[in-house]
Amino acid sequence: MNTLALSRDEPLLTIQERARLQVLEGVVERGLGAFLEVAAALLEIRDSRLYRETHSTFEDFVRDRFQLARSTAYGLMDASRVAANVSPEGHGLSLSHLRALAPLEPTTQRELAPVVSEVTVAEARRVIREWRATQRREWAEKPTPPPPVGTFRTIVADPPLAYKADYGDGLAADKYKTMSLEELAALPVADLAAPDSHLYVWIGATRIPDGLQLVEAWGFEFIALLTWKKPSIGLGTWWRYQSEHLLHARRGTLPTRPGLSNFFEAPRSRHSVKPVEGYSLIERASPGPYLELFARCPRDGWTVWGDEVTAAA
């Protein structure tokens, strides 16, 4: 048990939570073979933080309580999500098949589930690799829309940075056209900005140095870091990341509205989709007209530009 590492600031479990934890622990112990039920129990333990009375982290809890490696526990939970999405009863998907489908978008999981269920796991992985390669070629060949017209006092960019690693955020290339840092830096963002203007750049924790290079290349001066706290931890090698950031920069002397916090909380959505809470904070801090670069959907009161939307004033 990892009781000594606990913070006493954490509230103790209620009687109801302690009873529920015992029930969920029993589910895990009885049915590791029945992985869907096990995975649902693990998800509830993690998301409700029912491990907090005895352990600092979910990973420590499943290791000490059930002798489950982190990769096994998260693999079960990933498979559970896929199973709920694709109805495995109709496709005969094994645990390994479900885990192979886990990194894909829900619509793609449903598309490929009937195919991979008919082949071995090794063949299923080949099918998925081929689908990803085709998808990436299609994104790479997609034409870039014409630049927006006019100048803007506030610009938000969600740069589709290419990743070297083919895992985690490296799967971005399956979902949209990615660009190198050099390609992004060459974009004429400075031509779209008013003489006195603000720039906000969405960036992951590991790519902050790249984001700062883009800020400078686009003719802005970095002034602040805004942080989006997510409700649960995500991927990571050195750390498991639970935040994403906005680099705030300016050109000229345009101030922000005073008294605003640089920290906000918001739920996750599908891959790379940013929360409305972030845009609400930007609108409170900085004046229009507003432009969003690499947008994925229209936004009231904004001009949006990107491969996935049609720019509109």
Per-residue pLDDT reduced to its tens digit, 173-182: 556 677 889 9
Domains located in the chain, CATH noted: 3-134 (1.10.10), 152-305 (3.40.50.150)
CB–CB of 37/27 below 8 Å?
yes
Q: Measure the CA–CA gap between 299 and 313, rounded to whole angstroms.
A: 10
Residue 175 has a pLDDT of 61
* Beta-bridge partner residues of 250: 198, 221
* Parts of the chain with a pLDDT under 50: 1-5, 166-170, 310-313
For the stretch 199-256, pLDDT in tens is 999 998 889 999 999 999 999 999 999 999 887 776 667 777 888 999 999 999 999 9
Q: Measure the CA–CA gap between 251 and 261, rounded to whole angstroms.
A: 21
Residue 31 has a pLDDT of 54
Q: Measure the CA–CA gap between 302 and 190, rounded to whole angstroms.
A: 18
Tokens at residue 248, please? 């705030």
Alpha-carbon distances, residue 140 vs 1, 63, 154, 173, 310 (angstroms): 50, 42, 29, 9, 18
The amino acid at residue 235 is: L
